[in-house]
Amino acid sequence: MKKMTSEEIIRTYIDFFKERGHEEIDSASLVPKNDPSILWVNAGVTPLKKYFDGTVVPKNRRMTSCQKCIRTNDIENVGLTARHHTFFQMLGNFSVGDYFKEEALTWAFELLTSDKYFGFDKEKLYMTVYPDDFEAYDLWVSLGVAPSHIIKLEGNYWEIGEGPSGPDTEIFFDRGEKYDKDKLGIRLLVEEIENDRYIEIWNNVFSQYNAKDGVARSDYLELPSKNIDTGMGVERMACILQEVETNYETDLFMPIMETISEICHLPYTGQMEFKVIADHIRTITFALSDGAVFENVGRGYVLRRLLRRASRMGKKLNINREFLGDLSLVVVENYKEIYPELMSTKNNVKELISKEELLFQKTLLSGEKYSVKVVDKKGNPVRKGHVIFIAYDQVILSNISESGIASFYLPSNLNITGHLYVLSMYSDGPFNDLIASEQITIGTRTLVALDKNTIGSRMMHSWNNYKFNYTNGSYVAPIKENVNLVLELSGNCYLMY
Mean pLDDT, residues 382-403 taken together: 59
pLDDT band per the 50, 70, 90 thresholds, residue 375: low
The pLDDT score that the predictor gives to residue 115 is 96
Helical H segments across 207-297, by residue range: 234-241, 254-264, 272-289
pLDDT band of 161, cuts 50, 70, 90: confident
- Model confidence at 401, pLDDT cuts 50, 70, 90, reads confident
pLDDT at position 167 over 80: yes
Helices 6-18 and 101-113, axial angle in degrees (round to 10): 140
pLDDT tens column, 83-103: 889 999 999 999 999 999 999
Q: Could you tell me which of 118, 129, 131, 121 has the C-alpha nearest to residue 11? A: 118
Instruction: Using the predicted structure, report yes or no on whether residue 181 has a pLDDT greater than 90.
Output: yes
> Comparing C-alpha atoms, which of 481, 478, 429 is closest to residue 455?
429
125-129 vs 440-441, strand pairing mode:
unpaired
152: which strand partners?
129
With 60 as the cut, is the pLDDT of residue 434 above it?
A: no
pLDDT score of 409 more than 50? yes
pLDDT, residue 251, reads 98
CB 290 within 8 A of CB 30: yes
Span 18-41, mean pLDDT?
93
Higher pLDDT, 254 or 456: 254
- By mean pLDDT, which of 169-178, 270-279, 352-361, 469-478 is the weakest? 469-478
Q: Tell me what percent of the residues of the chain surpass a pLDDT of 90.
A: 59
Strands 446-448 and 368-375: parallel
Q: What number of other Cβ atoms are within 10 A of residue 62's Cβ? A: 19
| Predicted pLDDT at 430 | 30
Residues in the chain: 497
pLDDT of 437: 35
Single-letter residue type at 335: Y
Average pLDDT, the chain: 80
Q: Using one digit for the tens of pLDDT, what is the confidence trace for 109-132?
A: 999 999 999 999 999 999 999 999
pLDDT reading at 175 higher than 70:
yes
Q: Phi/psi at 286 (nearest 5 deg)?
A: -65, -40
The pLDDT of residue 455 is 33
* Contact by Cβ (8 Å): 410, 368: yes
Task: Give every CB contact of residue 455 below 8 A, 6+ residues apart in sequence.
Answer: 431, 434, 435, 436, 496
More confident residue, 364 or 233: 233
CA dist 356 and 354 (Å) reads 5
Which one, of 115, 89, 124, 101, lies nearest residue 197 by Cα?
124
Which of these, 341, 94, 59, lies nearest to 205 by C-alpha position? 94
Amino acid at 292: A
Tell me how far apart the alpha carbons of residues 204 and 314 are, in angstroms, rounded to a whole number. Answer: 39
* Mean pLDDT across 192-219: 93
**CB contact at 8 A, 2 and 118:** yes
| String of DSSP letters for 381-400 | BP-SSEEEEEETTEEEEEEP
The predicted-structure confidence for 222-234, as pLDDT tens digits, reads as follows: 887 899 999 999 9
> For residue 396, is pLDDT > 50?
yes
Task: Give, in order, the Cα–Cα distances in Å from 318 to each of 266, 327, 365.
Answer: 10, 16, 17
Higher pLDDT residue, 411 or 332? 332
User: Model's pTM, two decimal places?
Assistant: 0.76
Check pLDDT > 90 for residue 81: no
Give DSSP secondary structure letters for 180-191. -TT--TTHHHHT
Asked whether residue 254 carries a pLDDT value surpassing 70, the answer given is yes
Four-residue CA torsion sign, 314, 315, 316, 318? positive
> Lowest mean pLDDT: which of 97-111, 227-241, 452-466?
452-466
* N-to-C CA span, the chain: 48
CB of 24 closer than 8 Å to CB of 18: yes
